Structure 1
Amino acid sequence: MTYPMSSNEAEYTDADFETVRRIAQDEAGIHLPESKKTLVYSRVSRRLRELGYTSFQAYLDFVRMPGARDEMEKLICALTTNVTHFFREKKHFEHLQTVVVPHLAAKVRAGGRARLWSAACSTGQEPWSMAMSVMTAFPDAPSHDVRILATDINSEVVARAASGTYPEAETEGIPQPCKAQYMVPDPFGDMCFSGPICQLPAFKVLNLNAAWPIKGTFSAIFCRNVVIYFDEATRERLWQRLAEKLEPGGFLYVGHSERVTFVDRCGLQQIAPTIYRKDH
């Protein structure tokens, strides 16, 4: 079926939608049900307009070429949503600050190491909120072996996250004492993270459904509002892989509408609706 379009719109067929579905599944594990057909047109047609393509087929032929990996990334990113804010789902950060970090502080002060992971960091509000939670409970963390890995499939949002710079309006969720201690205004009126806290996060591009060049395990992993894009089999594989990357006693934080299936198989115990602990 070909969908009727006005004269300035690109032709979009059922076959085009099926091609996008296969690409999304193969490249990023994203499941696109039939109900997303119109959404796919809306999101992807923006890429066509920017590049000057007049048909989906021509664009999709291009994006699958070996030399078009940058555009493939932009297509995948167009199919997802980067909506986040500082201290989103506040109870997770309260748990990190009051339960997890004091234990980690004792361990690293005795010569150990601590690793945390923001597994879908988007524009960075999550890992920077993690860093502030760490600093609040463990002010000298930057002088010890404490690091926060922050990853996302989208290189553009990772670059923004790494800059640590946000418009003033986007920082409203940060408690004023934290903002005063960890951020400074820049010459353009934005707020940016400054000082020792900047030593904690390390930002990398990573596809959660590809290989993970990650050594070691983590004391806490935040993987929130990501699996909503995946089908059941992909979700289950991801939960298993994340659990394997948790150290015994480590915690996994998931989104408010997400649940880990087969917790026993993953070696996890649910201690709150969206918080899981790995069995010792």
Structure 2
Amino acid sequence: MTEFDFEYLRAYLKQRSGLALSSEKRYLVESRLAPVCRRFNFATLRDLIGSLKITHDGAIERAVVEAMTTNETFFFRDRLPFDLFRDVVLPEALARNAARRRLRIWCAAASTGQEPYSIAMLLQEAAPRLSGWQVDLVATDISSEVIERAKLGLYSQFEVQRGLPVQWLLKYFTQIGEQWQISASLRSMVEFRQFNLLHGFEGLGSFDVIFCRNVLIYFDAPTKSEILGRFANSLIPGGALMLGAAETVIGLTDRLVPDTKHRGLYGHASPQAPALRAVAV
């Protein structure tokens, strides 16, 4: 792959997914796109890039973007944000929404589903408090391939051993051969959609809680600022945005300010709005 081809791919991926590749990631491009070349019968990566420039084949374009996105995830990843959701964010949301009895949660980078299903398990454990409530749990990802897999809720032995308490494995999963499938009742709690964070959020509605963890690290500063602004618009007053350990809003937006009670929590800067909490853990 020539330097010119690599620069074209960098610009291509930035425009379509927000992914900001540094120059030292050239090896990553070559390794991840090799299977795409084989799948679509391109002899070389340069042939694939030539097709992107000329044919604008939607299937090839989606395959290239999806091959370059990172889908590392596991159940209850970095346990703290889920503890905060259970112990702080959820009780506050229930108190705040007691009159309308509706709760809306968005997992903005759902990957193969472990994060939204982790939340669904927490909601199921809190079922007595949610009796009579309408709970919407929306899970999105840029990759249609991982979304389709997430809908199945089918995981390997290795995947269910990563972060999932054994008692919840036995409670919420059924073993099917060498795999485990999450219960139909929990699968029905999650609405999965393919969605690109570079697009407008208006069609998704407003949310009490947004999880967007370990995604912004792949974007450049202007893209991060734009997305954080959209998240602020999508959160109801007092809502919570949860980010990953290496992510922050500081220096990227003036729409959010730190919450002094918890490390990595942020709130709406507007004095008219109740504190919005964003969790960066």
Q: Normalising by the residue count of structure 2, what TM-score does the alignment of the two structures yield?
A: 0.87
CA distance, structure 1, for counterparts of residue 178 and residue 31 of structure 2: 33
Matched residue, 1:62 = 51
Contact 1:86 1:126 in 2 (8 A): yes
Structure 2 matches for 1:83-94, cutoff 5 A?
83-94=72-83
- What is the aligned counterpart of 2:174 among 168, 171, 184? 184
Contact 1:16 1:56 in 2 (8 A): no
Offset of 1:146 from its aligned partner?
0.1
CA distance, structure 2, for counterparts of residue 38 and residue 21 of structure 1: 13
Which region of structure 1 is more displaced relative to structure 2, 74-83 or 255-264?
Answer: 255-264
CA distance, structure 2, for counterparts of residue 44 and residue 234 of structure 1: 24
Say whether residues 1:167 and 2:153 are aligned partners.
no
Which region of structure 1 is more displaced relative to structure 2, 208-217 or 36-45?
Answer: 208-217
Name the CA shift for 1:181/1:75 in 2 (closer, same or farther; >3 Å).
same
Say whether residues 1:256 and 2:260 are aligned partners.
no
Contact 1:64 1:72 in 2 (8 A): no
Matched residue, 1:150 = 139
Instruction: Report the number of matched residues.
Output: 268
Which letter maps to 1:223? C
CA distance, structure 1, for counterparts of residue 120 and residue 169 of structure 2: 12
CA distance, structure 2, for counterparts of residue 114 and residue 126 of structure 1: 17
CA distance, structure 2, for counterparts of residue 256 and residue 161 of structure 1: 24
Contact 1:220 1:246 in 2 (8 A): yes
Which letter maps to 1:48? C
Contact 1:17 1:37 in 2 (8 A): yes
Say whether residues 1:238 and 2:227 are aligned partners.
yes
Which region of structure 1 is more displaced relative to structure 2, 101-110 or 147-156?
Answer: 101-110
CA distance, structure 2, for counterparts of residue 25 and residue 40 of structure 1: 13
Contact 2:229 2:253 in 1 (8 A): no
Aligned-residue sequence identity (percent) comes to 32
Matched residue, 1:224 = 213
CA distance, structure 1, for counterparts of residue 253 and residue 43 of structure 2: 51
Name the CA shift for 1:102/1:42 in 2 (closer, same or farther; >3 Å).
same
- What is the aligned counterpart of 1:30 among 19, 25, 32? 19
CA distance, structure 2, for counterparts of residue 176 and residue 277 of structure 1: 35
CA distance, structure 2, for counterparts of residue 40 and residue 98 of structure 1: 41
CA distance, structure 2, for counterparts of residue 126 and residue 157 of structure 1: 13
1:38-65 Cα distance to aligned partner (Å, 9 max, x none): 2212222221133221233321232345
RMSD: 2.2
Name the CA shift for 1:192/1:141 in 2 (closer, same or farther; >3 Å).
farther
Matched residue, 1:4 = none
Say whether residues 1:80 and 2:96 are aligned partners.
no
Contact 1:102 1:138 in 2 (8 A): no
Offset of 1:175 from its aligned partner?
1.5
CA distance, structure 2, for counterparts of residue 81 and residue 263 of structure 1: 23
Which letter maps to 1:59? L
- What is the aligned counterpart of 1:133 among 110, 122, 137? 122
5+ residue gaps, structure 1: 1-11
Which region of structure 1 is more displaced relative to structure 2, 176-185 or 64-73?
Answer: 64-73
- What is the aligned counterpart of 1:45 among 12, 34, 45? 34
Q: Normalising by the residue count of structure 1, what TM-score does the alignment of the two structures yield?
A: 0.87
CA distance, structure 2, for counterparts of residue 277 and residue 257 of structure 1: 18
Offset of 1:85 from its aligned partner?
0.6
Name the CA shift for 1:181/1:143 in 2 (closer, same or farther; >3 Å).
farther
Contact 2:30 2:45 in 1 (8 A): no
5+ residue gaps, structure 2: 275-281
* Matched position secondary structure for 2:69: coil
